[in-house]
Structure 1
Amino acid sequence: MSRSTIAPNDQPAAHRNGDVALKAEARGLSFAYGDKLALRDVTLPVHDRRATALIGPSGCGKSTLLRCFNRMHDLYPGCRYLGEIRLYPDNINLLGPETDPIEVRMRIGMVFQKPNPFPKSIFENVAYGLRIRGLRDAREISARVERSLQDAALWDEVKDRLQDSAYTLSGGQQQRLCIARALATEPELLLFDEPTSALDPLATASIEALLGRLKSQVTSLIVTHNLQQAARVAEFTAFMYLGELVEFGPTEVLFNAPSQKQTEDYLSGRFG
């Protein structure tokens, strides 16, 4: 399926924020599960080839917002979107009725809280998305699997066991395999939902180092409860509370000189 199946808006909007180009942008986004309003009028820029962290207490809407970007909520009945999420440079509205959610998920990858490898070999886990997209050339599939495993810092550990089950890998290796699987289809945006919360400190450090290396390749939006992790891996940070975006800015500025008292109280541990 070609990218042209998502039609761009006829009137391209400016897609820069300061000196940094945007890859995506939520505009006045609200989201409801049935009668419950989970997000309220969120406007959030996502800078190109940068990592943006979403922080806030449990239940504040971080993961809900993240899953709006790849229309994952569409898999469940009774959900409603208001507002837009624009993807640049095409300037398409990911939430528009003319936009195919399956196409959205092909362009925007996701890595979940717990590693979720498929019950297949290591090789076939990474090749899965390529085959779904219709790629049949065995050489190209092999080359892209190898490149994705290298990008995920896993190739040297698995190159001699590609036909082994993915379940033979450790938890940290499985999470890197899931990242390789997401990278194989060359996504424009990668969503990470608490990608290290189920891992030990050593595996967490490995994933964080990987996130740092990936910045030059792909735009990342990362949900994390770990404030130190957000400070380490993200150039921009958004603080959310009760379904609203309270404050957004460069991570160093937001952590050291927050402009909102709610942000200051959360960062200082007064609540959350």
Structure 2
Amino acid sequence: MVNEIMQTTRPGASTSSTIKSVVNNLTFRYGDFQALKDINMVVHEKQVTALIGPSGCGKSTFLRCFNRMHDLYPDNHYGGEIILHPDNENILSPNVDPIEVRMRISMVFQKPNPFPKSIFENVAYGLRIRGIKRRSILEEKVENALRNAALWEEVKDRLNDLAFNLSGGQQQRLCIARALATDPEILLFDEPTSALDPIATASIEELITDLKNKVTILIVTHNMQQAARVSDYTAYMYMGELIEFDVTDTIFIKPKNKQTEDYITGRFG
């Protein structure tokens, strides 16, 4: 049924969208703790999908399943599937290399986390891991990534400076450039503006709106106004369950579930 949901109301969005990923009966456990419970959802290609809900509801846990971040810690267990199109591959399969998954699905974290390297080397890091050594190719891809992250004009004359010399907002855009450099199919944002001031937040939100023309985006946010501003689809989660998923305008104007309505209107959460 979720496959039938199409974007029809948000200005600037296409009247229909291709499915990039399908989540089937996804479960996840930290040891004995059941963090996610039978989640079924679709992710639309080159659209922004926001994950909202109270703290501890499973939003970030869900997000990190998409690039197998949980594999980095012991005693974590996936169930169900996340099918990535167009190759129809279950990225949770034990036969799939999580490093390859992370090349296809990049992530930007809550706080800017540049490496203790130059601006150039931060963006080139993933490219070097992929085996790209030719300087001309690295320079071209680094410039493209910085342009796509709306940072090129601010740093083009100081690419050899340490990344730590940038402002907080610039560091976060640098992290976005680093994530974009390897040409990911999906870009994950885990509360990317929570540590930024309002001006830097507005810049990142504008950037997200621009980026969806190039890449599929999933964003976790506690800020419902932000979700309403930047997303095309919204998923409301509670206690590890997906309560409601729909076009963002429907979720915020006329949700079908009373629990979603209570959360959106501030009566709960």
The answer to whether the superposition gives a TM-score over 0.5 is: yes
- Give the equivalent residue in structure 1 for 2:25: 28
- Give the equivalent residue in structure 2 for 1:84: 81
Aligned match of 2:93 in 84, 91, 96? 96
CA distance in 2 between counterparts of 1:124 and 1:240 reads: 38
CA distance in 1 between counterparts of 2:24 and 2:63 reads: 14
**Cα drift, residue 26 of structure 1:** 1.0
CA distance in 1 between counterparts of 2:252 and 2:72 reads: 35
- Give the equivalent residue in structure 2 for 1:228: 225
- Give the equivalent residue in structure 2 for 1:176: 173
- Give the equivalent residue in structure 2 for 1:255: 252
TM-score w.r.t. the length of structure 2 is: 0.95
CA distance in 1 between counterparts of 2:244 and 2:49 reads: 13
Following superposition of structure 1 onto structure 2, how do residues 1-272 of structure 1 map, counting pairs within 5 Å?
A: 18=6, 19-272=16-269
Which runs of 5 or more structure 1 residues have no equivalent in the other structure? 1-14
- C-alpha RMSD over aligned residues: 0.9
CA distance in 2 between counterparts of 1:211 and 1:180 reads: 12
- Give the equivalent residue in structure 2 for 1:6: none
User: Conserved in 2, the CA contact under 8 Å of 1:21 and 1:47?
Assistant: yes
User: Conserved in 1, the CA contact under 8 Å of 2:5 and 2:246?
Assistant: no
Helix, strand or coil at the partner of 2:139: helix
CA distance in 2 between counterparts of 1:84 and 1:208 reads: 30
User: Conserved in 1, the CA contact under 8 Å of 2:36 and 2:240?
Assistant: yes
- Amino acid in structure 1 at the alignment position of 2:196: L
Q: Kindly tell me the number of residue pairs found equivalent between the two proteins.
A: 258
TM-score w.r.t. the length of structure 1 is: 0.94
CA distance in 1 between counterparts of 2:77 and 2:119 reads: 37
Which runs of 5 or more structure 2 residues have no equivalent in the other structure? 7-15
- Amino acid in structure 2 at the alignment position of 1:212: T
CA distance in 2 between counterparts of 1:16 and 1:92 reads: 21
Post-superposition Cα deviations, 1:188-232, rounded to whole Å, max 9, x if no partner, equal 000000000000000000000000000100000000000010011
Percent of residue pairs bearing the same amino acid type: 67
CA distance in 1 between counterparts of 2:84 and 2:192 reads: 23
Post-superposition Cα deviations, 1:217-259, rounded to whole Å, max 9, x if no partner, equal 0000000000010011000000000000000000001100000
CA distance in 2 between counterparts of 1:222 and 1:77 reads: 25
Helix, strand or coil at the partner of 2:40: strand
CA distance in 1 between counterparts of 2:73 and 2:268 reads: 32
